[in-house]
Homo-oligomer: A and B are copies of this chain.
Amino acid sequence: MRAKVTIGEFSRAAHLSVKTLRHYHDVGLLEPREVDPDSGYRYYSEDQIPQAQVIRRLRGLQMPVAEVRSLLATEDAAVRNELIVAHLDRLEAELAETAAAADALRDLLRRPPSSPEVEHRTVLPTAAVAIEATVQRNDVITWWQGALGELEATVRAQRLTATGPSGGLFDSAIFQEDRGSAIVFIPVDGQVKAIGRVTPVVIPGAELAIIRHHGSLSTIDVAYGELGAWVMKHEISIDGPLREYYLQVDFDDLRSETWETEIGWPVFRADAEAAR
């Protein structure tokens, strides 16, 4: 025995508003079992309630409607559950991120205003193995981790010798337009075979203003801000990719306090300006 009920009644049992149910019909997320062709009245069946509840739960956990829909289209219940659990795991990681960001902000508020120590450096062209890609701002960190891992594996496999710390070049467009070119590299000596995404390159030389960031990468934006302010104040900023050098790393924990990172900002006439 299966009853058809109006949208209002279904709304009460599913704990979804009438407006929301109509919206879910429009976008094909939850279709009423029957629609009266004359009146347009939607009729739901009592056995659609569990479905509606799962939708409500997933939306409550910020899963996008499109994702919920494709998830529910999955026939195999086991696969479906796996997808949900995968989302929950991602969510958990995000929660940890947010909690860390909150901590970082609390720290920031307590931090005394520091006068940054900025150093000038002339960097010469350097042979290296590198991975390059066009990345979205939000994907940078994930991409960067994977790419550095692949580079290190390649260096080990080909028995190359690193001639300096690993680093990265980040196109301004990544910050200005949320999308741009990025390169990570490890300087090496000798003959390199291109494998996978890894290619031999020469990292171009540059005049850089350099600041050192101690600790978690989640607060590196502060160092960027200090360095940016400094080069602006001295009116020596020029266009070009921003650089990072990873002096002390801990790839297992990006929020570890053991990280030591240098940030380089392209400038001109370093020597003349340094005397100011």
Contact = CB atoms under 8 A, between A and B. Distances in A.
Given A13-B228, A175-B12, A221 B53 contact: yes
Interface residues of A, number: 64
A232 B46 CA distance: 6
B92 A102 contact: yes
Interface in A84-142: 84-85, 88, 91-92, 95, 98-99, 101-102, 104-106, 108-109, 137
A5 interface: yes
- Copies of this chain, whole number: 2
Interface string A1-42: 111010011111111111100000000000000000000000
Nearest to A108: B57
A235 B3 contact: yes
Interface in A177-233: 177-178, 221-222, 224-229, 232-233
Contacts of A233: 1-3, 46
Interface of A is mostly: helix
A92 B14 CA distance: 28
A163 to B, nearest CB: 29
Contact of A232 (B9, B101, B232): B9
Given A56-B221, A235-B3, A177 B17 contact: yes
A50 interface: yes
B228 A176 contact: no
A18 to B, nearest CB: 5
Given A61-B98, A88-B106, A92-B102, A172 B13 contact: no
A254 interface: no
Given A49-B229, A81-B109, 15 more contacts: A5-B237, A12-B175, A12-B228, A13-B228, A13-B229, A13-B232, A14-B225, A15-B221, A19-B177, A46-B228, A50-B225, A57-B101, A57-B108, A88-B106, A92-B99
